[in-house]
Amino acid sequence: MLSNRQILTVAQMQAAEQALIDEGESVSSLMEKAGTGAADWVWRMAAGRPVTVLCGPGNNGGDGYVIARVLTERGLKVSVVAPLEPKTDAARKARAAWGGEPVEHATGSVFVDCLFGSGLTRGLDEGLEHLLLRLARAHDLHIAVDLPSGIDADSGEVLNDVLPIYDLTIALGAWKFAHWMMPAMEMMGARRLVDIGVGEDGETARLARRPHLSPPEMDAHKYSRGLLGVIGGVMPGASLLAARAAMHGGAGYVKLFTTHPVPQAPAELVVEHESLSSLLADDRLAAILIGPGLGRDADAHAKLAWTLGCDLPTVCDADALHLLEPVMVEGRTAPLIVTPHAGELEALGNNFGSVGLDRIDQLTELAEAIEGVVVAKGPDTMIDAPGDPVLIMPPATSWLSAAGTGDVLAGLIGSRLAVGSDSPSGHAVEACWLHAEAARLAGPAFTAGDLIDYIPAAYGNFL
């Protein structure tokens, strides 16, 4: 059965195709499924208008010839541009079955890019780049088959300076990382997946599943729902945002521990000013969040070291990520979740020895090194825990790119961790969904404070 969530590397995709071939398929029969499935989408988009297909030398080009044949049979006017002869047997057969004559150039309504797919090994050379751009400019609608040509399937890297922007990308068989990773995913437009029979493999990366949350138990009380301690620092605003968000994230009780005055704290938020050691001795604490507004001085360092030494379920965000060192996590057994944005991921990589790696490798290595969950934030937020498949969040609204929204997410993750009904990475996923859903409901131009107001309604959408 088609898995709508599975994300494969090129090597995994090739292995999956080989498994199908071992079961009796051929490259040509797979190409027929891929091409006819893609042709259905092109047919819908074209709505009777002329189509131009750009076919490359490999099997992606082969898919293009199948699309051209199917749409011609259905009565559409189809032109094929083929700057390179087909090199694979399956592509040659598909071209012969199409039976038409390629043209040098075509204008029309719908442009279908079958130049290169997952077999791309380098950026497009100047001639192909110009041809691709010229054809794209000569058409109104742009469709990429499997992947836009010129991007790296495994890293989402865009290998040419200028490439077309697509209205639709039709993934074949399974998602590739580039479909859900920046910067490539920005070019893809809507994404659709065509089934060619690739099965589910529990080991591979996947899109994070939308969670189902539960209301509190009938006999719940504030402690049974989870007590979260948020440790503040020199910038009270950030820890206050996190604590306020946490109050709506499921935990029954949120306390803010800070030595600094917090005049804007709402009445429901308990602010404690005692020493950290006595506050952390409370055995009712279900989880701790430390980092937003903490500062990066010696005092902040000491607070972080002390907190992690208490071995409670802990979320580290913001300043804590710059201070975190391997020695602080040694010997811990309680869950740890870190929530770096790109810059903080870099800083953590430096401290934990995972430098110079691509984003996915850095994520997985860091999760192993801290023996905890890493939530790598951004337009393509990814979550990893040691031994688990990498999870990628579906894209959230770009209005989240506002100061303080990370503090809100950290508060939500802390809150879910305090609830403690799922695995730590499961809680990170729940919080990311709550955050994204609150942002969707908040509409345009919200602030981090506004975002918090939408968390209860977002919560309601997961019950």
Ligand X SMILES: NC(=O)C1=CN([C@@H]2O[C@H](COP(=O)(O)OP(=O)(O)OC[C@H]3O[C@@H](n4cnc5c(N)ncnc54)[C@H](O)[C@@H]3O)[C@@H](O)[C@H]2O)[C@@H](O)CC1
The Cα–Cα gap between 199 and 375 comes to 28
Torsion of CA 218, 224, 230, 236, to 10 degrees: 40
Smallest gap, in angstroms, from Cβ of residue 115 to K ion? 6
Stretch that binds ligand X, among 60-68, 72-80, 206-214, 263-271 (CB under 6 A): 60-68
The Cα–Cα gap between 153 and 117 comes to 8
Stretch that binds ligand ADP, among 28-36, 145-153, 204-212, 404-412 (CB under 6 A): 404-412
Burial readout 50-89 (b: 16 or more C-beta within 10 A, e: otherwise): bbbbbbbbbbbbbbbbbbbbbbbeeebebbbbbbeebebe
The interface with K ion within residues 84-123 (CB under 5 A) comprises: 113, 117
Stretch that binds ligand X, among 116-124, 253-261, 380-388, 425-433 (CB under 6 A): 116-124
113 is in an annotated binding site: yes
Smallest gap, in angstroms, from Cβ of residue 293 to ligand ADP? 10
Asked if residue 31 binds ligand X (CB under 6 A), the reply is yes
The Cα–Cα gap between 335 and 370 comes to 10
Kindly tell me which residue out of 7, 16, 27, 452 binds ligand X, with binding defined by CB under 6 A: 27
Kindly tell me which residue out of 381, 415, 430, 459 binds ligand ADP, with binding defined by CB under 6 A: 381
Reduce the DSSP state of residue 306 to 3 states and report it: helix
The interface with K ion within residues 132-151 (CB under 5 A) comprises: 144-145, 149
The interface with ligand X within residues 180-239 (CB under 6 A) comprises: 196
Asked if residue 124 binds ligand X (CB under 6 A), the reply is yes
259 is in an annotated binding site: no
Residues with Cβ within 8 Å of residue 109, at least 6 apart in sequence: 46, 49, 50, 51, 139, 140, 141
Asked if residue 146 binds ligand X (CB under 6 A), the reply is yes
Kindly tell me which residue out of 8, 16, 34, 328 binds ligand X, with binding defined by CB under 6 A: 34
C-beta of residue 262 within 8 angstroms of C-beta of residue 272: no
Asked if residue 381 binds ligand X (CB under 6 A), the reply is no
Asked if residue 9 binds ligand X (CB under 6 A), the reply is no
Asked if residue 172 binds ligand X (CB under 6 A), the reply is yes
The interface with ligand ADP within residues 419-448 (CB under 6 A) comprises: 435
DSSP calls for 246-296:
HHTTT-SEEEEE-SS--TT--TTSEEE-S-HHHHHT-TTEEEEEE-TT--S
378 is in an annotated binding site: yes
Query: Residue 380: how many CB atoms within 10 A of its CB?
Result: 21
Kindly tell me which residue out of 165, 220, 403, 457 binds ligand ADP, with binding defined by CB under 6 A: 403
Asked if residue 398 binds ligand ADP (CB under 6 A), the reply is yes
Nearer to ligand ADP among residue 17 and residue 344 (C-beta) = 344
Residue 367, judged by CB atoms within 10 A of its CB (0-12, 13-18, 19+), counts as: buried
Kindly tell me which residue out of 55, 94, 290, 400 binds ligand ADP, with binding defined by CB under 6 A: 400
Report phi then psi at 80, rounded to 5.
-115, 130
- Minimal CA–CA distance to 57: which of 17, 15, 90? 90
Kindly tell me which residue out of 404, 411, 424, 426 binds ligand ADP, with binding defined by CB under 6 A: 404
Smallest gap, in angstroms, from Cβ of residue 160 to ligand X? 9
The Cα–Cα gap between 293 and 345 comes to 18
Nearer to ligand X among residue 56 and residue 313 (C-beta) = 56
Cis peptide before 216 (omega within 30 of 0): no
Nearer to ligand ADP among residue 121 and residue 401 (C-beta) = 401
Token code pair at residue 236: 């009270």
Q: Which does 87 bind (CB under 5 to 8 A by kind): ligand X, ligand ADP, K ion, none?
A: ligand X
Token code pair at residue 159: 């290998």
Token code pair at residue 113: 């890019």
- If you search the block for the tokens 């592509």, which residue do you land on? 91
Q: Which does 62 bind (CB under 5 to 8 A by kind): ligand X, ligand ADP, K ion, none?
A: ligand X
Reduce the DSSP state of residue 169 to 3 states and report it: strand
Q: Which residues are annotated binding-site positions for AMP?
A: 377-381, 406
Q: Which residues are annotated binding-site positions?
A: 59-63, 113, 117-123, 146, 149, 238, 293, 341, 377-381, 406-407
